[in-house]
Amino acid sequence: MTETEFEILKNRCIGRITQEEVDAAIPWRKTKTELEELLDNCLAKGNPNNIFEIYFWSTPTDMSNEEEQELYRKYLLTEGHYEHEEIASAFQTRHNLSGDNVKVLVEAIIHPPKYLQAEDFRYPYIRKCIYAIGVQPEPHNFLGLNKLAVMDDFQIKELALHQINKRQNKGYWEKATK
């Protein structure tokens, strides 16, 4: 990647240009394997200047939705970057059609990254993950929320129970609860 291409990705990441402009300016596309290698190398170097964010969100790729979900699952559970909340949000808005996501989201709640373990940061992160679980396919979402609802952690338990009650009140999970 040239310095000019990196600057283009950086400008995309901070919102100065659109993804369409990136696509027009950069002719190559990374495969899942290539992007994963780039991201892993970045983390191995200690994520200097938070370039993981630039690579993760702005690199032009040639990946299927499933490949992208696999990448998101991996990096939701990986330390060394600061994109966990945004990745969790993506599971609520973009990647919400696979029951496999629930297992990863539950794991992310049980083992949050170090920088999100402080109480002020932990609660919003857990809430995002629980909301993301709630929109995943049934019965996976129901099973994941039930697992969290019996935990000793009061915040996790309350958020999970809230999501369960909310969905039951809307008529979801009738088959799962009978």
Shared domain check, 86 and 58: no
User: How many domains are contained in the chain?
Assistant: 2
Residue 104 lies in a domain: yes
Shared domain check, 110 and 38: no
Shared domain check, 57 and 116: no
Task: Give this prediction's pTM.
Answer: 0.90
For residue range 13-65, what is the model confidence (pLDDT) as tens digits?
A: 999 999 999 999 999 999 999 999 999 999 999 999 899 999 999 999 999 99
> With contact defined as beta carbons under 8 Å apart, do 58 and 92 qualify?
no
| Nearest by Cα to 98 from 136, 61, 60, 143 | 136
For residue range 110-141, what is the model confidence (pLDDT) as tens digits?
A: 999 999 998 889 999 999 999 999 999 989 99
**The token pair that represents 115 in the structure block:** 């920088």
107 vs 56, 63, 76, 110, CA distance in Å? Answer: 21, 25, 9, 5
Average pLDDT over residues 98-109: 96
Domain that holds residue 93: 81-171
Shared domain check, 85 and 53: no
Final residue of a structural domain among 63, 92, 114: 63
Residue 156 lies in a domain: yes
Residue 155 lies in a domain: yes
